[in-house]
Each structure stands twice: as C-alpha cells, then as structure tokens.
Amino acid sequence: MMENGWWVYVVIIVAGWLATDMWRWLGVLVGNRLDEDSEALQWVRAVATALVMAVTSKLVFFPTGTLADSPLWLRLGALGIGFLAFLLAGQRVIVCVVVSISLLIAGLALL
Amino acid sequence: MSSASLDARSNLAWFLTGMRGITSLPALILMTSFVGFSAFALESGITRDQAVFMTLAVWALPAKMILIGSMAGGAPLAACFLAVTLSSIRMMPMVASIMPDMKSERSPTWLLLFLSHFVAITSWVFAIQHLENVPRERRTAYFGGFAITLTLVNAVIVGVCYGIVAQFPPLVSGALFMMTPVYFFASIWSSARHSVVRLAFVVGVVMGPAMALVDPEFDIVYAGLGGGTLAYLLDRFVIRRVGRRALSRPASPEDVP
C-alpha cells in the first residue's frame, strides 16, 4: 500500500501540508478584515465545528485498533458520563479526561 | 521612542515564558494524544519518519487522522487532498479569530503566516486564554514560544514512542486511543463562545456516525457542510430569535423611561 516511499512524502506535502496551511494562511489574510459578528463567519464556524465533531464522534463509534473489539455502550458510557462530570465541574477539561478514561479502563479490565 | 517598559523584557524572554506553557495541562493531554497517534500511525502502515514528518508538516491532529485514513484506504491524491482540506476549513476562522489579538502594527505578514502553521486546537485555546495578559508587541514571541515548542516536542514524542506503543498492553493502547476524542469533546465545547458552535457540536456528533452508516464515502461532507448549515439555520432563525425575544421582553412599556 505505502511501499513507494517518496510518493508518500508527496501525498503528505500536497494533501497534508498544503491542504491545511492554505486555510491557515487565508485565516491570516482575512483575519483583519473579517467582522467577528458577521453571518458569514457564523456559518463557517458552524460548518467547521460540525466537521471536526463528526470526525471525532466517528473515532468513538468506529474505533480502529484494540478498541474496535470493545462494546459500543462502554465507549459511549465512559465518554457520556465523563462529559456530564465535565459540565457539572464548570467545564474543566481534566475532569472529562480523567473520568472517561478511568471508566473505560475499568470497563475493559472487568469485561 | 516606545515605552521603557517594553524593553524591560525582550522578545526572547517572552518566547521563553511562552515555552513554559508546555507544562500546562492541555499541553500534557495533547502529548498523550500524540502517543496515541504514534500507535495509530504504526497500525495504519505509516513509517516512523513519515509520522514525524507529518507531525511537523500538518500538525493538526484531526487532519492527520483523516490523511492517514484516506491514504490507508488507497484513495488517490486528489481525494486525500479533498478530505483533508474540507476538514481543515475550520483553520481559517480559528486563525482569523486570534489574529486581531496577536498582531501589532509592527508585526510583519511573513511572521504571522509562519506562526499560523502552529495553530491547532490546543494553541488556539492557549492564545484565547493568555494573549491579553501579554504586552501587544511581545504577543507573537510569546505565542511562538508556546506553539513552536509544542509542535517540536510532539514531533519528538511521535519519533520516540513509535514502535513502543505497539508493545503496550491492549488496556493501555485502548485508553491512549480514547484520549484524543475525549480531549476534543471537552476542549472544543469549553472554548465555544457562540450558541451556533455548541449546536453544530451536537449536530456533528450525531450526524458523523449516522452519515457513516448511510454513505461512508461522503459522510464527513454531509455531516460537516449539511450538518453545519443546518446548525447555522437553526441558530439564526430559531435560537437567536427566541433569545432576542427573551432579551426584549424586559423592555416592556413600563420599563421605558
């Protein structure tokens, strides 16, 4: 699949580096002109957030590697309870991470 | 002459202050996510050198996951580019929203373009939280100190941990894999400043897996472009309208002087 060493670097440069940095560069150029409260920016924010969360959510629903064999309810339960604890604890990121990962480890160990 | 206090601490001193952010909690969580990434890269058939190069060249973790996913699936270059670039559109508003805070009148554009490469979720949240406490002329140095160090340290982590992770027990590698989505769930929600972002967050979480079952090839496009537009329309015509009505209610005739 990826035997062709130099071709992989071409893919990383074109489909990785250029594909991400062109948006960053565009962000610098429009950063000064884009009105923070414009409707266009609100829409772009919505699309961006939905894109990122769709990707993130798929990691939980369809994981690769060792988690692929774990039950879906365990992954969703660990994340859901951790996120609830995070909301109750004044949105502290560490609370979500510690609670979710602890529950996941406990579940994996017991099953 | 500029004020004497400006010269009290040099750009180098502020760069070093920014570097100290590497020991902050979000930075440490991100590092464990990159340990998980090195395992993902190994499992997907990416070599150590390619994984390190990708970390330096792309930096953003979701974009790298999508790039590897597309490459592993044998997608042609144009399809890889499309998948990654669609997922990275969010970079534009992310960078644009911190630029007014980061630049000063004397910041050269090439420096801002260079620094923008190091913007990803963690450094973006760091900029929002800390830039206002730094003298304006020193903000680029401060941000660069943090963001460049974060990128380089994680590139080293990927290089060192690649291969080690394959030997971890399943319990540990499973927990490391889960770090990334858990971290994104919490950090993106906590950095949301607008109702439309929280709505799009929920729509994306639901539509991502749902669309994957309907059409695995274009699921991210449907969930992102379709779901994001749906969230925007709901926010504009339902949530903000209701919010405005709730806000305007106290302004009843008896309150008006």
pLDDT of residue B257 exceeding 50 = no
pLDDT for B178-221, tens place per residue?
Answer: 887 898 899 889 878 788 889 999 999 999 999 989 887 777 77
Average pLDDT over residues A73-92: 96
Q: Same domain, yes or no, for B49 and B117?
A: yes
Q: What is the pLDDT of residue B74?
A: 79
CB atoms within 10 A of CB B20: 12
Q: Same domain, yes or no, for B56 and B108?
A: yes
Q: pLDDT category, B4, cuts 50, 70, 90?
A: very low
pLDDT of residue B1 exceeding 60 = no
Distance, CA of B154 to CA of A13 (rounded, Å): 19
Residue B254 falls within a domain, yes or no?
Answer: no
Q: Same domain, yes or no, for B175 and B211?
A: no
Which residues of chain B lie closer than 8 angstroms to A82, CB-CB?
182, 186
Q: Which of A15, A83, A100 minimises the CB distance to B77?
A: A15
Distance, CA of B194 to CA of B189 (rounded, Å): 10
Which residues of chain A lie closer than 8 angstroms to B205, CB-CB?
53-54, 56-57
Q: Same domain, yes or no, for B64 and B158?
A: yes
Average pLDDT over residues A80-84: 97
Q: What is the pLDDT of residue B187?
A: 84
Most B-contacting residue of A13, A29, A38, A58 (CB-CB within 10 A), to test interface: A58
Q: Same domain, yes or no, for B128 and B222?
A: no
* Across B3-12, B45-54, B197-206, least confident range: B3-12
pLDDT of residue B22 exceeding 90 = yes
Residue B80 falls within a domain, yes or no?
Answer: yes
| ∠ CA A102-B200-B100, rounded to 5° | 100
Q: Which of B154, B179, B204 is the last residue of a domain?
A: B179
Residue B253 falls within a domain, yes or no?
Answer: no
Q: Same domain, yes or no, for B149 and B232?
A: no
pLDDT of residue A102 exceeding 70 = yes
Q: Decide: helix, strand or coil at residue A85.
A: helix
Q: Which of B171, B199, B224 minimises the CB distance to A105?
A: B171
Residue B29 falls within a domain, yes or no?
Answer: yes
The residues, ordered by sequence, that sit 6+ positions from B50 with a Cβ below 8 Å of its Cβ are: A2, A8, A9, A12, B41
pLDDT for B115-164, tens place per residue?
Answer: 999 999 889 878 877 888 899 999 999 999 999 999 999 999 999 999 88
Average pLDDT over residues B4-22: 84
pLDDT for A51-67, tens place per residue?
Answer: 778 888 988 999 877 88
Which residues of chain A lie closer than 8 angstroms to B90, CB-CB?
23, 44-45, 47-49, 51-52
When the pLDDT of each residue in chain B is averaged and rounded to a whole number, the result is 85
Q: Same domain, yes or no, for B174 and B208?
A: no
- Would you say A59 and B64 are in contact if contact means Cβ atoms under 8 Å apart? no
Residue B116 falls within a domain, yes or no?
Answer: yes
Most A-contacting residue of B48, B182, B222 (CB-CB within 10 A), to test interface: B182
Average pLDDT over residues B41-49: 88
pLDDT of residue B3 exceeding 80 = no
Q: Same domain, yes or no, for B211 and B105?
A: no
Name which residue leads in pLDDT, B11 or B89: B11
Q: Same domain, yes or no, for B200 and B110?
A: no
Q: Tell me, what amino acid is at B214? A: V
Q: Which of B145, B179, B213 is the last residue of a domain?
A: B179
Most B-contacting residue of A32, A47, A99 (CB-CB within 10 A), to test interface: A47
d(CA B214, nearest CA chain A) in Å? 13
Q: What is the pLDDT of residue B256?
A: 43
Comparing alpha-carbon positions, the chain B residue that sits nearest to A101 is B175
How many independent structural domains does chain B possess?
2
Residue B99 falls within a domain, yes or no?
Answer: yes
Q: What is the pLDDT of residue B107?
A: 87
Q: Tell me, what amino acid is at A1? A: M
Size of interface A-B (CB pairs under 8 A): 326
Name which residue leads in pLDDT, B6 or A69: A69
Residue B131 falls within a domain, yes or no?
Answer: yes
Nearest CA-CA partner of B174 in A106, A54, A73: A106
Q: Same domain, yes or no, for B165 and B209?
A: no
With an 8 Å Cβ cutoff, are B186 and A23 in contact?
no
Q: What is the DSSP-derived secondary structure letter of residue B222? A: I
What ipTM was assigned to the predicted interfaces of this complex?
A: 0.84
pLDDT of residue B240 exceeding 70 = yes
Q: Same domain, yes or no, for B98 and B13?
A: yes
Residue B13 falls within a domain, yes or no?
Answer: yes
Q: Same domain, yes or no, for B115 and B28?
A: yes
With an 8 Å Cβ cutoff, are A46 and B70 in contact?
no
Which residues of chain B lie closer than 8 angstroms to A47, CB-CB?
89-90, 200, 224-225, 228-229, 232
Q: Which of B179, B209, B238 is the last residue of a domain?
A: B179
pLDDT for B100-115, tens place per residue?
Answer: 788 888 889 999 999 9
Domain that holds residue B97: 9-179
d(CA B172, nearest CA chain A) in Å? 8
Q: What is the pLDDT of residue A4?
A: 66
Q: Which of A1, A16, A58 minimises the CB distance to B72?
A: A1
